[in-house]
């Protein structure tokens, strides 16, 4: 008995990957060595019953059927059933996917089958051209640079502490309940970012993503106090305008962090401590304009908060007045800052925002030209379920992109030898298959953020591994984003150690050169922005191929501590068409890779 199906091959499934609604999908499966009575496709839309579609013999051992997707986007799941005769009796065997994806496996029991996923999306959803061509740089504003004369700190906050030196290790002062009681600041500000634009341009980045910059009590500013006011430690409204103008003058772009799931306990909207007036805010006045935003179990001291963190009262995103405030009104928060010149938003904790809320933000965004909307999602966003709801993040008319944490996880698993090259190649292909093409090429790729341990720490400060990680980030489709200070060699574990001040006086030159070299390499090769994508591997080599009709660029990583010679008979390639395979084999045949090295070949 032999049964074979591979959705990554056009011989067995057309078109590849996610498919637009209403389109026809062709499925072909090979079945040999059986007295076949019937072959059928078992397919169902998410939440619906299975349909059995008869497949017809179209060639030696090949069975095929066509299936038209419905008029609504969503996920489909499918497998195959083969009924055959054995010793005069009808028997069934099943074929489905497995953990690796691609070529599947035979199952004896229908209940055990791991279905294949087919993503059905609304329409193509390409991001603005500038976004696709960008290399981003994420800045945690308090920890980047102070642009004031003599390093004076703007309007220090009450009951806070300021570090004596920027080299000091970050720390929290907490009470017995684990709550921060005195926030710590280094004094980085908007003027500092503006003064470092020449540095950023030299590094090769051309777009910035800033962690929250609106008024708040904390240094991270995810406890928003006023959505329309720049935090005074960071600067003034005029400083913000100057930064936007200077960035645009230098052909750079800016996206801001939108924190719309919760606000600060001490914000003007909640005002628990009365800092905004004794009778203002939901916690002080049940007749407040903001009262309907929040849910109180016992007024005013027991209320719903984000993940139980009392400092972050949770907002009811279904509330009409809150929706008007954030995105519906002409002078909404989203519209206001787009009017001020920002180029897009990154939505914090997108899982906490209903699909209709995200779609509303997107509709407001669509009133402006060439703006982008990115969501914080930690998993494969194509099949994400939050609060028992299958999310529509990437089906069209919602998010342009999500933060690609699965990429980071795959890179670390590969370079730290926690998973094999085959497993990682298949993981990338699963994401490629599950996402609509536009979304896959829009993915916001990172090796670290303010919510993760530093990449240098995760790679045990191994510079050769760091180079391999950075090179992969520049080669995988999507938009790379460098977390501030990674290029300077910053190390650190969990928050707050991953939020040290940028070491302007002690930049690690080896780390800097790695980032500078590979960012320059990406910026110089258009094929790395919009070229097709393929993978190859053997036991000790991992590689990425980007190509179009005229160009090919190949990344090769030696994952071992000894020399490796590329032997074609030992290589497995994924998603590389025959015509390109011929070019590829000529370029890589018998190439020798030194231990733990990173090489590229271009044609």
Tell me the helix, strand and coil percentages in the chain, rounded to 5: 25, 30, 45
Other C-beta atoms closer than 10 Å to the C-beta of 328 total 17
Beta-bridge partners for 375 = 347, 402
Is there a contact between 244 and 342 (Cβ–Cβ < 8 Å)?
yes
CB atoms within 10 A of CB 274: 13
| SS3 readout for 86-128 | ECCEEEEEEEEECCCCCCCEEECCHHHCECEEEEEECCCCCCC
In DSSP terms, 572 is beta-bridged to 537
**The predicted structure's pLDDT at residue 581:** 97
The residue whose two tokens read 């074929």 is 95
Distance, CA of 18 to CA of 394 (rounded, Å): 11
If you search the block for the tokens 């009470």, which residue do you land on? 175
Name the 3-class secondary structure at 450.
Answer: coil
How far is C-alpha 584 from the geometric centre of its chain's CA atoms?
29
Question: What domains are there in the chain, each with its CATH number?
Answer: 2-121 (2.60.40.10), 129-261+317-524 (3.20.20.80), 532-602 (2.60.40)
Residue 540 has what DSSP assignment?
S
Cα separation of 197 and 187, whole Å?
Answer: 18
Kindly report the number of other CB atoms within 10 A of residue 478's CB atom: 23
d(CA 162, CA 146): 13
**In the block, residue with structure tokens 């030194």:** 594
pLDDT of residue 439: 98
What pLDDT score does 2 carry?
97
Give how far the C-alpha of residue 339 lies from the chain's centroid of Cα atoms, to the nearest Å: 26
DSSP H or E run through 463: helix 463-475
**463-475 vs 405-415: helix crossing angle, rounded to 10:** 140
537, 541, 546, 552 alpha-carbon torsion, rounded to 10°: -110
Q: How far apart are CA 533 and CA 548, in angstroms?
A: 9
- Neighbour tally for 278: CB within 10 Å: 10
DSSP annotation of 47 reads T
pLDDT along the chain (603 residues), means of 10: 98 99 99 97 98 97 98 98 95 97 98 98 96 99 97 95 97 94 98 99 99 99 99 98 99 99 99 97 98 98 96 98 98 99 99 99 98 99 98 98 99 99 99 99 99 99 99 99 99 98 98 99 98 98 98 99 98 97 97 98 96
pLDDT at res. 380: 99
pLDDT at 262: 99
Q: Look-up: residue for tokens 């059986």?
A: 34
CA neighbor of 516 nearest in space, from 550, 477, 555, 488: 488
């Amino acid at each position: 008995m032999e049964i074979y199906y591979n959705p990554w091959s056009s011989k067995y499934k057309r078109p590849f990957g996610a498919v637009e609604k209403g389109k026809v999908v062709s499925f072909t499966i090979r079945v040999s060595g059986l007295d076949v009575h019937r072959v059928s496709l078992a397919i169902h839309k998410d939440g619906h019953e299975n349909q059995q579609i008869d497949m017809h013999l179209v060639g030696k051992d090949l069975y095929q059927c066509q299936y038209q997707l419905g008029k609504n986007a969503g996920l489909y799941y499918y497998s195959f059933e083969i009924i055959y005769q054995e010793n005069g009796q009808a028997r069934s065997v099943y074929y489905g996917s497995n953990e690796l994806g691609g070529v599947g496996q035979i199952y004896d029991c229908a209940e055990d089958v791991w279905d294949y996923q087919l993503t059905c999306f609304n329409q193509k959803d390409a991001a603005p051209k500038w976004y696709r061509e960008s290399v981003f740089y994420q800045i945690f504003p308090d920890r980047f640079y102070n642009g004031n004369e003599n390093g004076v700190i703007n309007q220090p906050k009450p009951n806070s502490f300021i570090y004596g030196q920027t080299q000091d290790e970050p720390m929290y002062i907490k009470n017995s309940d684990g709550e921060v009681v005195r926030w710590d600041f280094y004094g980085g500000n908007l003027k500092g970012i503006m003064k470092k634009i020449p540095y950023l341009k030299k590094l090769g980045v051309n777009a910035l993503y800033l962690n929250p910059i609106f008024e708040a009590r904390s240094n991270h500013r995810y406890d928003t106090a006023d959505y329309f006011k720049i935090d005074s430690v960071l600067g003034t409204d005029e400083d913000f305008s100057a930064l936007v103008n200077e960035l645009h003058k230098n052909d750079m772009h800016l996206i801001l962090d939108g924190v719309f799931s919760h606000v600060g306990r001490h914000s003007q909207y909640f005002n628990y401590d009365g800092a905004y007036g004794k009778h203002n805010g939901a916690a002080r006045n049940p007749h407040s304009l903001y009262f309907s935003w929040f849910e109180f179990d016992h007024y005013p001291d027991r209320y719903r908060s984000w993940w139980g963190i009392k400092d972050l009262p949770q907002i009811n995103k279904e509330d009409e007045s809150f929706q008007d405030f954030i995105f519906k009104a002409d002078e909404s928060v989203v519209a206001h800052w787009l009017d001020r010149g920002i180029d897009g938003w990154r939505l914090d904790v997108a899982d906490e925002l209903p699909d209709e809320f995200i779609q509303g933000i997107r509709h407001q965004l669509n009133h402006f030209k060439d703006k982008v909307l990115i969501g914080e999602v930690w998993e494969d966003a194509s099949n994400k379920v939050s609060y028992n709801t299958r999310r529509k993040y990437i089906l069209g008319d919602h998010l342009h992109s999500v933060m690609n944490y699965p990429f980071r996880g795959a890179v670390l698993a590969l370079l730290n030898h926690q998973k094999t090259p085959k497993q990682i190649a298949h993981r990338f292909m699963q994401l490629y298959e599950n996402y609509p093409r536009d979304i896959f090429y829009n993915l916001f790729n990172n090796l670290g953020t303010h919510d993760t341990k530093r990449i240098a720490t995760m790679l045990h400060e191994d510079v050769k591994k760091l180079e391999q990680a950075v090179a992969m980030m520049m080669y995988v489709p999507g938009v790379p984003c460098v977390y501030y200070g990674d290029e300077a060699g910053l190390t650190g574990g969990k928050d707050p150690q991953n939020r040290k001040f940028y070491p302007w006086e002690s930049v690690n030159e080896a780390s800097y050169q790695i980032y500078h070299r590979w960012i320059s390499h990406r910026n110089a090769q258009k094929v790395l922005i919009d070229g097709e994508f393929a993978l190859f591997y053997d036991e000790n080599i991992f590689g990425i191929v980007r190509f179009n009709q005229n160009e090919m660029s190949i990344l090769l990583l030696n994952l071992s501590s000894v020399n490796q010679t590329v032997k074609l008979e030992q290589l497995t390639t994924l998603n590389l068409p025959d015509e390109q395979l011929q070019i590829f084999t000529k370029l890589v045949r018998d190439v020798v890779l030194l231990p733990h090295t990173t090489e590229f070949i271009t044609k």
